[in-house]
Structure 1
């Protein structure tokens, strides 16, 4: 059964070389006998003339390359055994498949095609020199020699094209595989999987863990702009794992080593992209950073921050580090509501208007530690008014305004409520 060629190998285009030539059997036999020696000389010349391969052909590798060269040269000579003559437009499967495999091997080794194409050029020259000498000695006419040269180099072009196709296919395949592993790594990181699972996923993705990772959530449409400006190790999590239900069309970026002094730079890079930025966490605990961002998003934007998906270009990122107090106080909205109801119950005895004034005064008194002048300045009232209102509050709350536990409860209850205007 004929060997199946990879579908990506392009059909070769043969040069216009006139009628095909037929090698006499004696010429073919002589050149076949010389193949091992020609292959050895070809490899030796490549090692000398192509520096990238200086140490690549030693030992078993060198023997494998020699065999590949023999297959390539033998493929050409196989054409000559056909009664119709040598036709370079008719591909020889084993030789082309071998060239294709060489191209894929180069890509896996991290090399470009430059070295391999140089090796082909050197190989064509060396092989032509020795094979033409053998062919003429065996009886090939001088008139057929020039056409023979055209056929040799046309055949080399076919091998080169097959290797280029193999190289491109390997890069595409390995790129898709690595991207899949990187996406999988991001997903298991956000899932908070055990360290041994994360380490294994990082190894599969060929991704070196940084010291910390910072979770960034932003509209999916703006993720590409952000990635172009961030560390190349930044992971992007697929939309399905980006948030509850995935309906918000957000992307999650996991940015390496963006804590400490580097955080300001990260915020500058994300300016205008509608991003929300979590804290830096050890790389294996970035799920905690992501949870912080999601909690901040559930709280809604700060008063001077637009929603993520409509943020104008001059909108600063939502920095969760700047909202820690609010995040703590609003971690349980129902509990906070119950606390306010309980601790502010004494104010239920007064009218709504009086309650509003006394609440504002009590909050300012707590924040300014009882400093009457500062309270008056904040509320735009006379210090005597502050003294009068505090007298009312002491009548309502009694000794509880001296109790540290009550003061803590009042601070929490009033700390994140909107400031109520004074009369």
Structure 2
């Protein structure tokens, strides 16, 4: 029987002394660029201090240095040597202990691979290496980094399995205590057990559970997730307690189309206040999937704080319109609302309702026939503004 076909391995890249020296000269700048890119693009690394940043730079430099050594020795550089994989495994464990997620770690590896290939391939191409050899080099680079990332994933998973599950339970309990408005002493103890560093503020975001899982990694790693009855919500609804939100516009962009309601920032022990407002804000969405920032809807929240009282007020102050024809009442009501909100400016009312100014004049004549001198009474005007000022979805 003929011998089995040999396994196909990546072509070798012969490193001349000059090429090897140039590649090694890139390691320092490459490590700096990789770490800077990771910090800029992965939120979980945004707070990396100089010490941890230095350790990460050192790890990148050593790993790629080992890779170049393997290439230079003409062995299979797609299979890292034991010290490299051991170091990657320990890196994964350390990232787990630091509280960074597996998604964040893999994102960091993805960015590192991209930066490494961009810089190293440029040097190789400048040496006039053939296209085939450049392609083989790319295969080696990515296979090597894939192997390192796999080792880091294993380390991260093992560390999480060892300590993470217990911490996750404590974090869940902390989220539940915040949602319940537990006493300060209880919250402090829960945060200590969870090894959770309290921020200055927390902002509650109420949204569908599936969306919460999808976007959680885009926020601060200290964000707390609670869902279902444990935090007083429906089974398919969750709350994210997001620390120290300073850019609400960014939060709105992330949550667009997720059907979220964003509460106000509150001192972290008062997160329940933010949660309660976020829950009320869900009723302000005018279409499924619309996200609501309650900071922009304070007037609407006030107007809808007591729906029963609002209904009674509307019935009472709009009673004079009962004198108009039934088919005309909704038109007159909408015209009166616009007239009040635009302070009687006929042209603005016409633009708002997409009608001619004369139509506005005619309709307001009918309204005045119903209300008489009451429209000149400030108390009546105030009651009408409140009754008609609620969002259309609430009326």
TM norm structure 1: 0.51
> In structure 2, how many angstroms separate the alpha carbons of the residues matched to 1:353 and 1:170?
69
> Residue 207 and residue 254 in structure 1: after superposition, are their counterparts in 2 closer, same or farther (change >3 A)?
same
2:324 is equivalent to residue 324 of structure 1: no
2:244 is equivalent to residue 257 of structure 1: yes
- In structure 2, the partner of 1:302 is 286
1:333 deviates by 1.8
Deviations 1:168-218 (A, max 9, x none): 988644323222221111111110112222122212222111111111223
Secondary structure of 1:228 counterpart: helix
- In structure 2, the partner of 1:190 is 179
> In structure 1, how many angstroms separate the alpha carbons of the residues matched to 2:381 and 2:253?
39
Between the two proteins, the alignment pairs up a number of residues equal to 242
Q: Which runs of 5+ in 2 are unaligned?
A: 1-92, 99-156
For the 8 Å contact 2:180–2:231, the answer to whether it is kept is: no
For the 8 Å contact 2:179–2:232, the answer to whether it is kept is: no
Aligned equivalent of 1:175, options 164, 169, 172: 164
1:283 deviates by 0.9
Q: Work out which of the two has the higher radius of gyration on C-alpha atoms and give 1 or 2.
A: 1
For the 8 Å contact 1:243–1:250, the answer to whether it is kept is: no
> Which structure features the higher share of helix residues?
2
> In structure 2, how many angstroms separate the alpha carbons of the residues matched to 1:206 and 1:222?
26
For the 8 Å contact 1:267–1:317, the answer to whether it is kept is: yes
> Residue 407 and residue 192 in structure 1: after superposition, are their counterparts in 2 closer, same or farther (change >3 A)?
same
2:273 is equivalent to residue 288 of structure 1: yes
Deviations 1:281-316 (A, max 9, x none): 11111111111121122x26323xx24xxxxxxxx6
Aligned equivalent of 1:394, options 365, 368, 379: 368
> Residue 378 and residue 233 in structure 1: after superposition, are their counterparts in 2 closer, same or farther (change >3 A)?
closer
For the 8 Å contact 1:219–1:250, the answer to whether it is kept is: yes
> Residue 398 and residue 331 in structure 1: after superposition, are their counterparts in 2 closer, same or farther (change >3 A)?
same
For the 8 Å contact 1:281–1:289, the answer to whether it is kept is: yes
1:381 deviates by 4.2
Deviations 1:113-158 (A, max 9, x none): xxxxxxxxxxxxxxxxxxxxxxxxxxxxxxxxxxxxxxxxxxxxxx
RMSD: 3.0
1:396 deviates by 2.5
Aligned equivalent of 2:215, options 199, 203, 226: 226
> Residue 390 and residue 178 in structure 1: after superposition, are their counterparts in 2 closer, same or farther (change >3 A)?
same
Q: Which runs of 4+ in 1 moved over 4 A?
A: 168-171
2:332 is equivalent to residue 358 of structure 1: yes
- In structure 2, the partner of 1:28 is none
Aligned equivalent of 1:240, options 229, 235, 243: 229
For the 8 Å contact 2:175–2:231, the answer to whether it is kept is: no
For the 8 Å contact 1:189–1:284, the answer to whether it is kept is: yes
For the 8 Å contact 1:183–1:238, the answer to whether it is kept is: no
1:338 deviates by 0.9
2:339 is equivalent to residue 339 of structure 1: no
Where do 1:20-419 residues align within 5 Å? Answer: 172-244=161-233, 246-247=234-235, 249-259=236-246, 262-297=247-282, 299=283, 301-303=285-287, 306-307=288-289, 317-416=291-390, 418=392
